[in-house]
Amino acid sequence: MSTVYEKIGGEAAVDAAVDIFYRKVLSDDRIKSFFDDIDMDDQVAKQKAFLTYAFGGPANYTGQSMREGHAHLVKRGLNDMHVDAVIELLGTTLQELNVPQELINEVAGIAESVRGQVLGRNG
């Protein structure tokens, strides 16, 4: 059985999604302040890693790296509302790319699974 990553279109899907997703993030008043002072090249690379992970692709994220990578943002007030916004924008990005809703739900599920680590909670 193929993975979500394969069904969605693998690396080509990540490439197609990254600019659309990043533009949405930078336009969204709820979360843009966490992103708009970061250099674009670094940010695009990070967004690609995140999308690859959320699509169930070969990104070796660990709970530890998720926690450490977002600790400075949690200090700046990153909370559930912001994670909700990111997952929502991920969904609308994939809708624009005509990805079937059931796959979008699977992607949202993967993104949802790291919420606790991103926000620095236990478990």
User: In the set 5, 17, 31, 48, which binds other proteins (CB under 8 A)?
Assistant: 48
Say how far apart CA 71 and CA 8 lie, in whole Å. Answer: 30
Q: Does 41 bind other proteins (CB under 8 A)?
A: yes
| Residues in the chain, overall count | 123
Say how far apart CA 88 and CA 99 lie, in whole Å. Answer: 14
Closer to other proteins by Cβ: residue 37 or 102: 37
Binding site for other proteins (CB under 8 A): 11, 15, 18-19, 22-23, 26-27, 36-37, 39-41, 44-46, 48-49, 52, 57-61, 65
